[in-house]
Structure 1
Amino acid sequence: MSTEIRLTYGRRGACSLTVSDERLVGRFVPPPAIDDVREQVVRALETPTEYPPLRQAVVAGDQVTIVVDRHTPQADQLVLGVWQVLEACGVNAADVILLIPATLTMAPVADPRRSLPTAAREAMRMVLHDPTDEKAFGYLATTTGGERVYLSKTLLDADLMLVIGDVAFDPLLGYRGGGSVLYPGLSNIEAMRKTVGQGHDELAPGDSRPLRQIVDEITWLLGLQFAVQVVPASGDRVSRVIAGQIDAAFREASADLLQHWSYQADVRTPVVVVAVDHDARGHDWTQIGAALEVGRALVSREGRVIVLSELRSDLTPGVQLLREVRSPRDALRPLRKLQSGDMQAATQIARALDWSGVSLLSGLPGDLVEELGMLPVDANEELERLIESEEALTIIASAQHVSVIRPDKAE
């Protein structure tokens, strides 16, 4: 018997693959999205985890700063739900600031106010943190490790602080979420540069990590108490909303992420197909790198990972470096020296190319794909030809969000 599998990728890409059941070793399907995110937020704020309802912590006249992670899916609906509660408490929209952390790549960010009523949208301020402006941050405290921490003055001056962000697997943090929206994105440029890294490939998401320890300490030093955490669905949608005391909400969301976005792999297969959505972070080399990291964890040595995307992004500095080296492995040390904002993604791509063959369906010119060491895939017909073999395969949808769990970590 055979199974017909429909995969989506990018914004509009889609294909159907017919695979015999004996060849299909494994398949990952993302959790379903919830329908009314705003309503779920309002409910979560009334019954938060290990915290009183938000309305009990707010009084009219409060200066409220809401830190919104720039990569949060459906951030506009989350902000709308929070504003509904704040407005009912007598808070003025002019007293609310949406604070957006910086990134080294400084990618564009969608305005999270866009779904608010017109009057609130025009009165509420949005501040993009500038880590190069010394007037934009102030001294918070010194960590137990002796590091002086500086954070956004907009945050330090608030009467009420809360964060809105997604929880996701992260090569450096293990789990992104909770207080990681604060640091280094709301600190200075030195802190941002110091926290660039290639990730801890040998660790599981829940293992102790240096940057996660620093983030948790800074969250405690700041006294931040409340968070709205979301677990992603496919694309740029949400599968679950959790609000409450920041540590408790982060733990619950991380557990949900692990349950619904991890894939248990007992064996490797010669062929792995990874589909890459356009998500809240966009559709660029970051997503391709994360998906290839998943493919590398699942494919046999010298097998083939087939990436389905609509990628049209320019080459970033780290990815450009892959064109200039003799072999993918030769890029790893120069990437560490380059310290570019795309170091994680470029490292993930290099490691995948060093382990197996990679075929890429994208909107990029075929000769450019070849210069990066990949095989360009031009159409769905060619994709079907690639997988029409007798080899076993694994198929992973929304692969950029997935974490692979293996009984043994040995390569």
Structure 2
Amino acid sequence: MHLHFRGRKCIIEGHRCMSMAQIRLAYGKNLLELQYDDSYFDVLGDEKIEKPLSDIEVNQKFDNPIQSPPPEDLVNPDGKVLIVVPDATRRSASDQVVNLLVRRLIAAGVEPHKMGIIFATGIHRSVTEEEKKNLLTPFIAQRIKTFNHSAYDLMKIAGFQSKRFADFGLTKTGIRIELNRLLLDFDHVFLIGSITFHYFAGFTGGRKLICPGLASAETILQTHKLSFDCAEKDRRRGVGAGILRGNLVHETFVEIAEKVKPSFSINTIVNRTGAALEIFCGHWLISHEEACDYYLKRYVVNIEERRDFVIVSCGGFPLDLNMIQAHKALEAASYACNDGGTIVLLAECDDGLGKSDFLKWFEAANSDELADNLCENYEVNGQTAWSLLKKTERFKVKIMTELEDEICRKMRMEKIKSLDGIIPPKTKGYIMPYGAKFLVKI
């Protein structure tokens, strides 16, 4: 666990005994120690120690799927199976789950050369060879052919017919659905993803493996644009963390995934190390909805008041791999902090900002100007930049990070070198060790 209480000590201050506690917070692949007064600070979202699912227990889930036959009963020996998995920015227990799934399919007569695994990168960078081994195990990475999705097609950019994407028609809102053509080369599509909160799609996993995971850059752009209301210069009403019903972004993702008709979906809930604590598998949509319901009941933290000081860790690697990913923890902390208060964000960002041109958005004088720029020339990460700038206007944001000082200043954040003395005396606040894994409600 990231969270370790190692006893308390009492320090006499006047006539009051300060009850000092210690906690370890994840920063990249390391842990940072913080001492705090637990009569002023509360910890939000303590991850319980739970035993991960064994291989036997995972196979039992496969034996009893939700409104679906077991995976091996869906295929025939002549069928071709494409397994869709997240990239390196997500932990989904894919190493365990894919290994067991592939073995079952082979036992059912599906030959390894008729299987493929594609990384649903969306507009993220490609998965490296080392990351493939970590995500799949070296055995699977060597035995099953893997593909890196790319959201860009030079032929299409040059004005020619796309060779990378297939046209699946239009959504109800008129968005052109362009998805990786590999989806047409296989008889069955299996989805594997993890469930956590997403700040405008409601939850991760499920339908997001198809869009944005395997969509073209243009389809990703247009679907993400649904999250923003240009007239209000704000996030569209009805979209947000933990919300599916009435969420236009989620509903559009579902509509697009329906075009593919995935054969099976495996939705994992993982601990901080990426091991599976629970699995909901079966019908691609129903199993995802049940997983989201389960997650919502277990990972909401109710508070009675917002406070002036919040310290938040993203939860370590890979959740703080880059700034675009780390923003999700800042979003989570914003629900617990008073306007004008201070948020301290721990985000190593070993992979930088996450997009080379991300900083250009911060040339805007304020979030309203950035919103105008965004609506004139929408880009997916521009919406993230707007959301980040909006928070640095509402709160004083201090960040412990490997990003350069000037980059932090440009994003209107103050870079700090350590947590020593970071908490002002007699200030009430919260500590959030797991960032966006929990949803704070008041």
State the TM-score bracket (shorter-chain normalisation).
Answer: 0.7 to 0.9
TM-score, with structure 1 as normaliser: 0.87
Residue 386 of structure 1 and its aligned partner are, at CA, apart by 2.1
- Residues 237-265 of structure 1: per-residue CA shift (max 9 Å, x gap): 44322211112210121022212332223
Other-structure match for 1:213: 251
Q: What's the RMSD between the two structures over aligned residues? A: 2.8
**C-alpha distance in 2 between matches for 1:212 and 1:232:** 22
After TM superposition, give the deviation of residue 276 of structure 1 in Å.
Answer: 1.6
Verify: 1:333 aligned to 2:397, yes or no.
Answer: no
Cα distance in 1 for residues equivalent to 2:380 and 2:92: 21
Which residue pairs with 1:3 in the alignment? 21
* Alignment match, 2:382: 343
The code of the aligned residue for 1:373 comes to R
How far residue 97 of structure 1 moved from its aligned partner, in angstroms, is: 0.7
Question: What letter corresponds to residue 291 of structure 1 in structure 2?
Answer: A
Per-residue CA deviations over 1:266-285 (Å, capped at 9, x if unaligned) read: 21101011012234456111
Q: 1:137 maps to which residue?
A: 165
Count how many residue pairs are aligned between Structure 1 and Structure 2.
Answer: 401
Structure 1 pair 156/322, CA: closer, same or farther in 2 (3 Å)? Answer: closer
Which runs of no fewer than 5 residues in structure 2 stay unpaired? Answer: 1-18, 154-161, 229-234
1:35 aligned onto 2:52: yes
Q: Aligned equivalents of 1:25 and 1:355: distance in 2?
A: 22
Deviation at 1:311, TM superposition (A): 2.7
Cα distance in 1 for partners of 2:49, 2:183 equals: 34
1:232 paired residue number = 270
Change (3 A) 1:24 1:291: same
The reply to whether residue 354 of structure 1 matches residue 371 of structure 2 is no
Deviations 1:294-350 (A, max 9, x none): 222211111100112323443445641365344455433334445344234322321
Q: Which runs of 5+ in 1 are unaligned?
A: 407-411
The aligned counterpart of 2:349 is 311
Equivalent residue number for residue 153 of structure 1: 181
- Matching of residues 123-202 of structure 1 within 5 Å: 123-133=143-153, 134-197=162-225, 200=235, 202=237
Question: Of residues 324, 328, 333 in structure 1, which corresponds to 2:363?
Answer: 324
2:70 to 46, 53, 58: 53
Partner of residue 416, structure 2: 377
User: Is the alpha carbon distance of 1:236 and 1:46 closer, same or farther for their aligned partners in structure 2, counting shifts above 3 Å?
Assistant: same
Retained in 2: the 8 A contact 1:42–1:84? no
2:347–2:401 Cα contact (<8 Å) kept: yes
* One-letter identity of the residue aligned with 1:129: H
Change (3 A) 1:107 1:396: farther
Instruction: Show the counterpart of 2:106.
Output: 87
Distance in 1 (CA, whole Å) between partners of 2:400 and 2:416 is 5
- Matches of 1:369 and 1:290 in 2, distance apart? 17
Evaluate the alpha carbon distance shift between residue 35 and residue 375 of structure 1 in structure 2; reply closer, same or farther with a 3 A threshold: same
Please give the secondary structure, in 1, of the residue aligned with 2:203.
strand
- Partner SS, residue 108 of structure 1: coil
How far the C-alpha of 1:355 sits from its partner, in A, is 0.6
TM-score normalised to the size of structure 2?
A: 0.81
Deviations 1:204-237 (A, max 9, x none): 5324122222222233333223100112322544
Aligned equivalents of 1:288, 1:139: Cα separation in 2:
33
Give the corresponding residue for 2:311: 273
Cα deviation 1:357-391 (Å, max 9, x = unaligned): 0111112334443343222221232xxx2214111
CA distance in 2, matches of 1:188, 1:368: 29
Question: Is the 8 Å Cα contact of residues 101 and 182 (structure 1) preserved in structure 2?
Answer: yes
Q: Matches of 1:114 and 1:346 in 2, distance apart?
A: 29
Match of 2:34 among 16, 24, 28: 16
Is 1:241–2:279 an aligned residue pair?
yes
